[in-house]
Structure 1
């Protein structure tokens, strides 16, 4: 076993992983196959924060027989941390190491430590991030992370097997560089775990108003890259710790409000509206008919804004019940209050 050590100067917001950066251990492994029983573990890369920098160790199986020693060394590092961060580690890296530790009778805390698998977050937001694939390399590309080299996993397996017989330093350099890049990249994409926390943690800082739109300027958990998306004409533009939500107004327009208890209403064809049965008692039978859910409405002309899914309030429609949903442009939606917060929350819950 040979241990190679590095120092990383990487600045990331890990508040949604742990309040204490020193609690976190980042890790990634390199193997000659997918099955722990039928393949070899040849590299364990790990990194933790200490003395104002990340300290990285690459634990290398230099002779093909160092797996027990590697696992024991990794366990000594592991037990000093509370949270293990990986990329697809829940599915592959952790089960693989557990099998290896069982195989070599190495006592471990690996099965009890809290795991944060960044892939579990990024795979949910492929569409939002405009990605076809959520491999670590694809996520790194979003933040312009620069790898020192790119070598496929298959080529690395061949390189390791060749290294055991040749001890070619260039092959060793390729394996170390790849695993080191994985660790540096893993640390650098930590802030992607902040995305699911945006709906819970956003705060409206101020609201600006024009004739055509309302803009909500918000503070959010730190994002690693810009996210832009639209929902029913509502534009969300989020970057770093700031988010702007621009809500368009539909002005001087007639909208329909449909009564849910339509059985208590009558429809007046000539007026093209419905009235409550208590009022309909004074209308001639020839000029009224029992309302249905499709015509039990009244109309309102004014300024309206799109209604996001899940928002509860007085909903207006531009055509029928299958049409676009709107809210009356009320005073509360222009102020920092419970109503405006609930409005933005509904938008974010749909997007995130």
Structure 2
């Protein structure tokens, strides 16, 4: 890391700046007529909050509520079972992102499938799938795509390359999900959410416009925040000031990267290949209409869900009865409310998805709560 870049990051993590913002928040919070619950939608924000102890710096009348913005955490068991089933086919190499390896399905996880001889590979970039396909011309390489709007354009770029290069042995299993729909569900579920800290990287792609409905239709202010601790604390301050000024607005704290319109090029590429699913089941939350993408019918010839539909499991499967991931993802509980947190459920032996993912709330509490 260059000295200039290090100085930039150090500035966003400066203890004096964080403490100064905490004092300003405390001053503003003293004027509040009510306590407020602020949901950070993104799991990346949850980890920043826990890593830097930001929750401990807030006054008692302001509370962070952890949201469902961890794509691995909300992937239902039946979708994991799809990956597991496909990986065990003799002529298949399953490719996905690294957090997926320990997510439990009903038959086990992808690490278990590897132990049974499955060829499962984890990549940092979806485009690495092309190299794997070239090196294994007799195999079907299935890219199991996950993530919110942040990673959807990466999958679109891979599809574009596959079609342009006329690569015949790459297929896709699409599990990309979107942010606004679960936000609506949580508000309709009366979760005592008073405001939102909006995801940063998602918003770089989509633009801030996707959140306009929440101040307008629900009376819930939104501030789109960067991931650094100074970003988060400044966003909290902006939200508290909105309450004190009787405003309800959509604001962008992360203005160094987020615009109203977002990346039009990425949105255009996504629109070529994807359309919304009628329904998608979110782990711990349930069925949410129009909350996920699928490949358009014109691309059925590269859609693993279509090609292998006769062997893919269709049964919906609930989580372990002792796991509270559902309530945690809904913002109705935090990890320490779970009886098996840190005992029967740990990162090395996770019962639920919130303990698996690097963005999961349980993993954050375990890592930064002096349990390691």
| TM-score grouping bracket, smaller chain normalisation | under 0.3
**Normalized against structure 2, the TM-score is what?**
0.25
**Normalized against structure 1, the TM-score is what?**
0.26
Higher relative contact order by CA 8 Å / sep ≥ 6: 1 or 2? 2
Structure with higher strand content: 1
